[in-house]
């Protein structure tokens, strides 16, 4: 039996690494990937809690997270592709349309 704390610690480490990756990397695709890592770290924590509580609700939430992540990836990548077509760059700091 693995103590559930191990899973939670792993989840924290992965979440932090995802955050670091988001700030260090500067192209949109990799930043997007970093967000996916953070999602996954949260999923791991949800599943650990679901197991400790002995209820399935945590797993259901993970299921929803994965589905929404799929939808989000489709739209997000479409937007990135569109940005690349119009601006020929995917560096996140080159995209400042919203700057007044």
Element (H, E) at 93: none
- How far is Cα 33 from Cα 36, in angstroms, rounded to an integer? 5
Residue 15, CA atoms < 13 Å, CB-side half-sphere: 13
Site string for other proteins, 9-48 (x = CB under 8 A): -x-xxxxxxxxxxxxxxxx-xx-xx--xx--x--xx--xx
6 binds other proteins (CB under 8 A): yes
Shortest separation between residue 83's beta carbon and other proteins, angstroms: 10
Residue of 49, 54, 48, 25 whose CA lies nearest to 37:
25
* Residues at the contact surface with other proteins, assessed by CB under 8 A: 1-8, 10, 12-27, 29-30, 32-33, 36-37, 40, 43-44, 47-52, 54, 56-57, 59-60, 62-64, 66-75, 77-82, 84, 90-91
């Amino acid at each position: 039996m693995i103590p559930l704390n191990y899973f939670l610690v792993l989840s924290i480490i992965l979440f932090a690494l995802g955050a670091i990756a988001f700030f260090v990397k500067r192209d949109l695709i990799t930043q997007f990937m970093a967000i996916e890592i953070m999602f996954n770290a949260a999923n791991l924590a949800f599943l650990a809690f679901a197991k400790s509580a002995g209820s399935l609700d945590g797993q259901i939430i993970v299921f929803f997270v994965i589905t929404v992540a799929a939808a989000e990836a489709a739209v997000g990548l479409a937007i990135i592709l569109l940005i690349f077509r119009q601006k020929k760059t995917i560096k996140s700091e080159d995209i400042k349309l919203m700057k007044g």
